[in-house]
Chains A and B, each alone.
Chain A
Amino acid sequence: MDPKGIDRILEKYEYKDSAVIAILQDLQEEDNYLSENDLVYISENLPIPLTRVYSIATFYNAFSLTPRGKYPISVCLGTACHVRGAPMVLDRLRLELDIDVGGVTDDGLFSLETVNCLGACAMGPIVVVGKDYHGQMTPAKVGTALKKYRKPSKE
């Protein structure tokens, strides 16, 4: 992100270093991941020691220090989803995308993550693609669910 954009975020949180988690979230929301340049900029301008920025960026699940796919995929592995077969859905996704958890497909379209409960258990197993929630997932439905994101017209 260009420095002006980061400055806007820092201003929004009044340059409070206790807001660093929210600052990083806003940054990742726009940029899809947290780049080294951006983290150094935040460290210098908030200001906050760079060690603290990296401790936080590597501690919390929300953050990714490597670029994610255009449509990050999150598979919920909460207990209710697990009992309803989420692990099998995850396996199917691994096969379908040919990547493991934490990876990005070669075309940069999808990345695969797991999340430890989205709190939408009634529709489990759930897979989030981009911002869309796909409920009652089964291994058999995976292919169809991903189809619409593969279409070039989908922006």
Chain B
Amino acid sequence: MIKFTIDGVEVQAEEGQNVLQVALDNGFDIPHLCYHEALEPYGACRLCQVEVTKGNRTSLTTSCNYPALEGIDVQTSTDKVNKARKMVIELLLSRSPNVPVLKELAEEYSVGEPRFKLGDDDCILCGLCERVCREVVGVEAISFLGRGSDRKVGPPLGINPQTCIGCGACAYVCPADCIKIEENENERTIVRWGRTLPMKKCKVCGRSFAPWFQLSYFDKITEGIPKDFWEKCPDCR
């Protein structure tokens, strides 16, 4: 076990854990946007910054990808940390003033009207959608495109990503709630990517429960599951 302190409190961590996860597990409230425990830390939003003292050096660093190390001291709320946090929120808010989670953060951390010209982006570029699609689901249907302030996430050809199975994992992890899913009896549409897939109806109850494509993909990547498993919805299984 690795022992270190957060805000003076001693905590324990396992080899390979990052500071943010340990902090969250121990009830410390470090704000974060692009971190998800099921995915590799990315370090893009910069919101999770804390001050870490290692030996005789203290530095401001992102906690999501900083390794838990023996004897370090982590401070989650110094003047420097608070200043950095507020400015990061201000920068994000000025780009995306209508995103609910940013408005909540601004309220919580007393960030006023941004001092910059307001944009209108509904996406905060955290990358969780493309990371879950690539790392967990494994279909790599969407990716980052462009560079700098032109950076955005989307399907390669602009619409209808061919490998998307319509699982909705991207919508599930999105903190900005900008990936909408529409469903009717026969189809599911991931609106943001312009991907519409026909749904399979449960053999037992007749309800549409998942896109055909998604089920056949899961069937392909799993082993030892009887074929009729995919014919029934989760409730009827």
Contact = CB atoms under 8 A, between A and B. Distances in A.
A50 B162 contact: yes
Interface of A: 36, 39, 49-55, 58-59
Q: In the complex, which of the residues B140, B143, B161 has the most CB atoms of chain A within 10 Å of its own CB atom?
A: B143
B141 interface: yes
Contacts of B162: 50
Contacts of B24: none
A96 B162 CA distance: 43
Interface of B: 130, 140-147, 155-157, 161-163
Contacts of A52: 140, 143
A53 B145 CA distance: 10
Question: Which secondary structure dominates where chain A touches chain B?
Answer: helix
Contacts of A50: 156-157, 162-163
A36 B158 CA distance: 11
B147 A59 contact: yes
A49 B145 contact: no
Contacts of B147: 58-59
B3 to A, nearest CB: 41
A36 to B, nearest CB: 7
B140 A54 contact: no
B146 A51 contact: no
A52 B146 CA distance: 12
30 contacts: A39-B156, A49-B140, A49-B143, A49-B163, A50-B156, A50-B157, A50-B162, A50-B163, A51-B130, A51-B140, A51-B141, A51-B142, A51-B155, A51-B156, A51-B161, A52-B140, A52-B143, A53-B156, A54-B143, A54-B145, A54-B156, A54-B157, A55-B143, A55-B144, A55-B145, A58-B146, A58-B147, A59-B144, A59-B145, A59-B146
Contacts of B157: 36, 50, 54
